Amino acid sequence: MESIYIRHLDDPIRAHFTKRREILVLLGSRQTGKTTLVKRLFPDAQYLLVDNEPVRRMLESYDVNVYRSALKSGTTKLIIDEIHLVSNPGRAAKIIYDQLPIQLILTGSSSFHIKNRTAESLTGRKIDYYLFPLTFSEYLVQTGVEETLNFDLFQRIVQDSWSESYRLFDKGSMLSRVLLYGLYPKLVNNPMDVDYLKNFAESLVFKDILELELIENKRLAADLLKMLAYRVGSLISYAELATSLGADQRTIKRYIELFEQSFLIFRLYPFTGNRRDEIVKSPKIYYYDTGVRNAVIGDFSELGIRPDRGALFENFIIAECVKANAYTGSGYTLRYWRSKQKSEVDLVLTKGNRVIGVEIKYGKASFSQAFMRRYPGATCKVVTAENFY
């Protein structure tokens, strides 16, 4: 089967300017495919790369006449790639949007948002889209294993009933590859490229953030990321992390927030029915990509001998749900549940009065009886390596 380069965001982004004039802002970590996507969907757009010094200087003039002279004749759409490298991206984008008759497309990393907090606001002038590493379905299509994109993994969790699909490929082998090496697009053509992942993790972790001088202690940041990688799926305590690393809690919390804004990690907070014996504060940490997580700790050993196999699978399923929830606009809130007696449910999705509890285990598992007793109206699912897709 021939591989096809398509993404879940293709249709929403292609349709953006048919419905609105607001700036299209595509955000995501490095090398998730932002540039490839906008160039493919808007082939006639003029393209400016801010990493090109003359382009950056031109944009930092903040002069509409300079901007106008940089536009080619007949330009109706303008892509500005890596807008976060402009010292005040919000100001530049606002001038173009307000004073030039073109449709504006911006790509950038999270630092675009970090900078914009102290720069001119684009409130009401932009629509944000987030491009994550590939979903499992995108990976299967791009490797030629399947023909069409789907959200089956997410739908079998959120739908009340689900009919099993027969898969014509070695699901276990594909899962093993994804858990070890992750889902960044470059790995489609370079599977199991450990050197790429290690170098990529280094640049992903530090390049944008260090450019902004937001992390004063690179060694502390690296040690913190490694500690978080070892604790994927576990409750974290900022005080405990600070003590272990010889740092203060405020620095630890700020670094974690920066990693989160850079689409490296995300926090999952507890679900509670306001009962006194439920965990209500401590978050869990997950990586957006298991390959990057493994690169951070330098461990690409085979899945069958790994003691963290269950944690990797849990991370993968929850990250897939985060991506699908965003791409589909489903509007679920994702949490975990844990009682002080240590009964636990790995993932709880809520929307309105609906509650879905999900137990995620690589092997066979049963659902928490304690959760079912407390929330008898909840839908309860068990996701394993056998039934996840």
Whether 147 and 123 map to the same domain: the answer is no
Whether 51 and 195 map to the same domain: the answer is no
Structural domain harbouring 123: 10-130
State how far the alpha carbon of 290 is from the alpha carbons of 90, 135, 232, in Å.
33, 12, 10
Residue 388 lies in a domain: no
Query: Looking at residue 3, what is its pLDDT?
Result: 65
The DSSP secondary-structure symbol of 135 reads P
pLDDT tens-digit profile of 217-268? 989 999 999 999 999 999 999 999 999 999 999 999 999 999 998 899 999 9
Whether 223 and 277 map to the same domain: the answer is yes
pLDDT tens-digit profile of 128-153? 999 999 999 999 999 999 999 999 99
CATH number at residue 126: 3.40.50.300
What token pair was written down for 261? 């804004």
Domain boundary pick from 130, 160, 180: 130
Whether 306 and 340 map to the same domain: the answer is yes
Residue 183 lies in a domain: yes
Query: Looking at residue 1, what is its pLDDT?
Result: 65
Residue 2 lies in a domain: no
Q: How many of the other CB atoms lie within 10 Å of CB of 372?
A: 14
Strands 103-108 and 77-81: parallel
pTM score > 0.85 for this model? yes
Residue 176 lies in a domain: yes
Helices (H), the chain: 10-14, 16-19, 34-41, 53-59, 64-70, 89-99, 111-116, 136-142, 152-158, 171-181, 186-189, 194-211, 218-230, 238-245, 249-261, 290-297, 309-328, 369-374
Whether 66 and 184 map to the same domain: the answer is no
Whether 72 and 208 map to the same domain: the answer is no
For the four alpha carbons of 292, 297, 301 and 307, in that order, the dihedral sign comes to: negative
Whether 46 and 62 map to the same domain: the answer is yes
Residue 389 lies in a domain: no
Residue 198 lies in a domain: yes
Residue 143 lies in a domain: yes
Cβ atoms 149, 249 nearer than 8 A: no
Q: What is the mean pLDDT of the chain?
A: 93
Give percent of the chain with pLDDT exceeding 90. Answer: 79
How far does CA 241 lie from the centroid of its chain? 23
Query: Looking at residue 316, what is its pLDDT?
Result: 99
Taking the alpha carbons at both ends of the chain, their separation in whole angstroms is 19
Whether 101 and 249 map to the same domain: the answer is no
10-residue block means of pLDDT along the chain (389 residues)?
85 97 95 96 98 98 98 98 92 97 93 68 91 98 94 95 77 96 92 89 75 82 96 97 98 94 94 83 97 96 97 99 98 96 96 97 93 95 95
- Give how many domains the chain has, as a whole number: 2
Whether 176 and 306 map to the same domain: the answer is yes
Domain boundary pick from 130, 145, 168: 130
Whether 169 and 298 map to the same domain: the answer is yes
Query: Looking at residue 212, what is its pLDDT?
Result: 65
Whether 115 and 155 map to the same domain: the answer is no
Q: Cβ contacts of residue 40 below 8 Å, gap of 6+?
A: 5
Domain boundary pick from 106, 130, 154: 130
Residue 110 lies in a domain: yes
Whether 35 and 84 map to the same domain: the answer is yes
